[in-house]
Chain A
C-alpha cells in the first residue's frame, strides 16, 4: 500500500502538531517524528485506503459495468455509459428520488438552521439554569441517525400515536402521518429539524465570539434589538452560518436511516420517502443492480460537490470574516 500518498498528517491532527515539529528543529528528529506520525496515523490510514479510497475507486469502475453483486468480479461486463444513460433517460423512479431529496433538503435544512439559531439566541443569555437547557436542546442531536429514534418517531406519528392523541385533546382528528404519502416526508423533516442541537451549539460558540463593544456602539448609535441582530449579529455570525449551512446541506442530502426505518426499507408509502440514498441502497442490494447503484453514487458525489462549490463561490458575497480587522 502506498504510504507516500498519505495526506499531510498535520492537516488532520490538532494544530499543535505542526508547532511541535517546528520547535523541534534538527532534521534527524523531524524525520523520526514524521515516521512516528505515520505509525500513529496508520490505523486511520489503512482504514482510509482499505475501507474508503479503494472501494470508492472500485465503485467508479463498477459504475461502468453490469455488476450485480452475485456474479464474481472476473465475469463483470463493461457496459460503458449505459448506467448513466439509464439514469438520465429511462428511470422515472430515479428522478422521483431526486425530487424527494431536494424537497427534503430545501425545506428541512433552512428550518433546522433557523431553529438552531433562534434557540441559540435565546440560550445565549446569563439565565439561571441556562446550561441545563443547552444540554436538553443538544440531546436529540446526540441520538443522531439512530434507528431507535426513527422507531419512536413512527410510533409517535402513526394513526394512534402520541401526536394524534395530543391533537384530539383540541378536538382535531389527526392523520396517519407516517403512513400517508402526503405527510410521510414532512414527518421525516420534522425529525430532522428537531435534531438541531449540533448546529445550535456551533451557533452558541459563534455568538460568544461577537465582541460586545459592537453592540455597545450600535446601541449608542440608537440601533434597536432588531437592527443590532441584522447589522451586528448576522454579519459577525456569517462564517458560522456558512459552516452550518454547508454541513447541514450535505447531511440533509444524505438522509437515510429515518427513511429506511419508517418505510421498512421500501421508501414507501408510494415512494414518498424514497430518498436518494435509500433508492441507491434498494437498487444495489435488493434489486442487485450494483453497477447502476455505483453510477448513482458517483452522480450524487458530483452533485454534492457542485452544490458545495456554489456555496463557496457565493460565500464571498455574504460571509464576513473579521480576521483582518482584528489584527
Chain B
C-alpha cells in the first residue's frame, strides 16, 4: 500500500529524465481513474425503455439468466448455440447459478438497473415482479403470433397471467409429485403407494413402512406449501383468493394436526430430520439421503433426484383426489420490461418452446415441453428411465388435472417461509398445532398486506 519511496522525493528533480517517468505514469493513472469512475457510475443509470432494434440483422447480445444445475446449463447452452447458428447476429451473455440465492441476485441486478434481458422465474416470484412492472406484458406478442402458444394447453399459458397481463411464458409443465424409494419397499415386501390414496391411507402406509424398515415412512410435508396447497384444494379451499388468503386458521390447524398425528404414529422422521428435508436443495431430499421413504417434490425433479441415489425411485401424485393438482408452469421465461432487445428476447422464448430441435435438446429438464406436439416427440425419444417415469405420471395425471389456481400473489415468498417456521414450531413441539396456525395466519396477513 505504502510506496517504499514517497513519490514526491523525486519531484524536485523533475527535469531528470529517469524520475519523470513515474510521474507521468502517475498522471496517466489518475486520468484513467477520473475517466473510469463516471463510466462505472454512469452504467448503473442505463437500461431505460427503448423499443426493439430496427435492423433485424444488427448484432445483438442478449443477456439471459437462469437457475439450475450443470445438466440444465449444458442443455440450455446447447439450445442457445443452436439459436445463434440460425441467427448469427445474436449472441448470448449467459449467467446461471443454483436456485438458492437466485432471486436475491435477480432482485439486485434489477435494482442496479442492469437486469438480464431474459430470465427464468417461477410462480413463487412471478407476481412479485409482475406487480412491480418489472416484466414485459407478453400479450401483444402472443396475439401477433410472435409468441406462438397455439399448441400449448390453454391452462398452462394462462398460469402466467398476472392482473390480466401475460407476465411470463411457461418454459415447461410440471405438477406435484410424491417420490418414494422403490428399492426399500421391494426389499421389505411392502406395497408401493398409489395415486388416489387418501391422506389417512398414506399415513397408515408410512407407519407400516417405518415399522418394517426402520426408515421413517414418509417425510412430514406440513411445512411444504405445495403439499398444503393440494390438500387445501381438496377441502374446497385455495392458497389465495384474489388478494386474500384462501384459507383460515382452522384449516391450518387441521393440516398441522393431521401431521402431528403422523409424527406421533412414527410415520415420519423426527423434527430435526424433517427440518433437513425442508431445504429446497435436491441433494438434501430425504428420499435420496435415505432418511425417509418419500419426498414431496415436483414430478420433473425425478431425474435430478435419481442422480443422487442408487435406489430405484417411483413417483405418484400427492395423496387425496388428484384433481386438486393442475398443469403448473414449472417455471417461466420472462422479459425485462426495460430490455433493449425485446423482439429478440421474444423470438428466443418462442424458439426454446416451439422449435423441434431446441425442444428435443432441452428434453424435460424444465418440465414437460409446453408445446403438446413436441411433448409427444420428446416423450417418444426419451431414453432416461427417470425422465420416462416423470413423463408417465404427468401423462396419466393430465386426464385428472383440475383447473389452475391463480398465480400466487405478491408476498407469497414470505408466506412460504412463514409456513416453514410455523410448521417447524409444531414439529419441534414448541407450539400446539392451533398456536402454530394462529401464528402463521398472523404472519401471512402482514406479509400480503
What residues of chain A have their CB less than 8 Å away from a CB belonging to chain B?
A: 1, 13-14, 20, 29, 32-33, 36, 39-40, 42-43, 46, 50, 68-71, 90, 93, 158-159, 176, 179-181, 264-266, 268-271, 282, 285-288, 290
28 example contacts (A-B, Cβ-Cβ < 8 A) are as follows: A13-B2, A29-B11, A32-B8, A32-B11, A33-B11, A36-B26, A39-B29, A42-B33, A46-B37, A50-B37, A50-B40, A69-B108, A71-B132, A71-B133, A158-B276, A159-B272, A264-B100, A266-B417, A268-B420, A269-B271, A269-B275, A269-B428, A270-B425, A271-B421, A286-B103, A287-B413, A287-B414, A288-B107
Q: How far is the CA of A285 from the CA of B417 in the complex (A)?
A: 13
Closest to B29 in A: A39
| With known contacts A33-B8, A271-B421, A288–B275 Cβ distance under 8 A | no
> Known pairs A1-B37, A266-B420, A268-B275. 12 more at Cβ < 8 A?
A32-B8, A39-B29, A69-B107, A70-B132, A90-B446, A181-B430, A268-B278, A286-B104, A286-B414, A287-B413, A287-B447, A288-B413
Majority SS of interface residues in chain B?
A: helix
Closest to A287 in B: B414
| With known contacts A1-B37, A13-B2, A264-B279, A269–B7 Cβ distance under 8 A | no
Taking the complex as formed, is B101 at the interface, i.e. its CB lies under 8 A from any CB of chain A? yes
Taking the complex as formed, is B6 at the interface, i.e. its CB lies under 8 A from any CB of chain A? yes
In this complex, which of A36, A69, A266, A268 has the most chain B Cβ atoms within 10 angstroms of its Cβ?
A69
Contact B417 A36 (CB under 8 A): no
A3: min CB distance to chain B, Å: 11
Q: How far is the CA of A287 from the CA of B104 in the complex (A)?
A: 9
Contact B3 A40 (CB under 8 A): yes
Contact B41 A50 (CB under 8 A): yes
Q: How far is the CA of A153 from the CA of B40 in the complex (A)?
A: 39
Taking the complex as formed, is B111 at the interface, i.e. its CB lies under 8 A from any CB of chain A? yes
The 0/1 profile, CB within 8 Å of A marked 1, for residues 280-318 of chain B is 010000000000000000000000000000000000000
Contact A70 B103 (CB under 8 A): no
The 0/1 profile, CB within 8 Å of A marked 1, for residues 81-122 of chain B is 000000000000000000011011001101100000000000
Among A20, A269, A285, A288, the residue within 8 A (CB) of B272 is A269
Q: How far is the CA of A266 from the CA of B284 in the complex (A)?
A: 15
A240: min CB distance to chain B, Å: 25
Question: Could you say which residues of chain B place their CB within 8 Å of the CB of A181?
Answer: 424, 428, 430
Contact B420 A20 (CB under 8 A): no
Q: How far is the CA of A165 from the CA of B281 in the complex (A)?
A: 26
Taking the complex as formed, is B372 at the interface, i.e. its CB lies under 8 A from any CB of chain A? no
Contact B421 A70 (CB under 8 A): no
Among A29, A43, A176, A287, the residue within 8 A (CB) of B33 is A43
Taking the complex as formed, is B401 at the interface, i.e. its CB lies under 8 A from any CB of chain A? no
Among B101, B272, B413, B421, the residue within 8 A (CB) of A180 is B272
In this complex, which of B11, B275, B281 has the most chain A Cβ atoms within 10 angstroms of its Cβ?
B275
Contact A270 B421 (CB under 8 A): yes
Closest to A12 in B: B1
Closest to B12 in A: A29
Contact A70 B110 (CB under 8 A): yes
Contact A268 B3 (CB under 8 A): no
Closest to B101 in A: A265
Majority SS of interface residues in chain A?
A: loop
The 0/1 profile, CB within 8 Å of A marked 1, for residues 67-92 of chain B is 00000000000000000000000000
Question: Could you say which residues of chain A place their CB within 8 Å of the CB of B7?
Answer: 36, 40
Q: How far is the CA of A80 from the CA of B361 in the complex (A)?
A: 53
| With known contacts A29-B11, A285-B104, A179–B421 Cβ distance under 8 A | no
Closest to A34 in B: B8
| With known contacts A1-B37, A179-B272, A286-B417, A270–B8 Cβ distance under 8 A | no
Q: How far is the CA of A264 from the CA of B98 in the complex (A)?
A: 13
Taking the complex as formed, is B134 at the interface, i.e. its CB lies under 8 A from any CB of chain A? yes
Taking the complex as formed, is B356 at the interface, i.e. its CB lies under 8 A from any CB of chain A? no
Q: How far is the CA of A288 from the CA of B129 in the complex (A)?
A: 10
Interfacial residues of chain B within 223-272, with CB under 8 A of chain A in the complex:
270-272
Among B26, B107, B428, the residue within 8 A (CB) of A70 is B107
Taking the complex as formed, is B30 at the interface, i.e. its CB lies under 8 A from any CB of chain A? yes
Give the 9 A-B CB pairs with smallest separation, nearest first.
A179-B272, A176-B272, A70-B132, A285-B104, A33-B8, A69-B111, A69-B107, A270-B424, A269-B275
Among A14, A33, A287, A290, the residue within 8 A (CB) of B2 is A14
Question: Could you say which residues of chain B place their CB within 8 Å of the CB of A268?
Answer: 275, 278, 420-421, 424
Question: Could you say which residues of chain A place their CB within 8 Å of the CB of B414?
Answer: 286-287
Question: Could you say which residues of chain B place their CB within 8 Å of the CB of A36?
Answer: 6-8, 11, 26
Q: How far is the CA of A220 from the CA of B30 in the complex (A)?
A: 63
Question: Could you say which residues of chain B place their CB within 8 Å of the CB of A29?
Answer: 8, 11-12
A177: min CB distance to chain B, Å: 9
Closest to B109 in A: A69
A260: min CB distance to chain B, Å: 10
Contact B6 A269 (CB under 8 A): no
In this complex, which of B37, B128, B272 has the most chain A Cβ atoms within 10 angstroms of its Cβ?
B272
| With known contacts A39-B26, A270-B428, A285–B107 Cβ distance under 8 A | yes
Taking the complex as formed, is B185 at the interface, i.e. its CB lies under 8 A from any CB of chain A? no
Interfacial residues of chain B within 1-58, with CB under 8 A of chain A in the complex:
2-3, 6-8, 11-12, 26, 29-30, 33, 37, 40-41
Question: Could you say which residues of chain B place their CB within 8 Å of the CB of A271?
Answer: 421
Contact B129 A70 (CB under 8 A): yes
Taking the complex as formed, is B273 at the interface, i.e. its CB lies under 8 A from any CB of chain A? yes
Question: Could you say which residues of chain A place their CB within 8 Å of the CB of B270?
Answer: 176
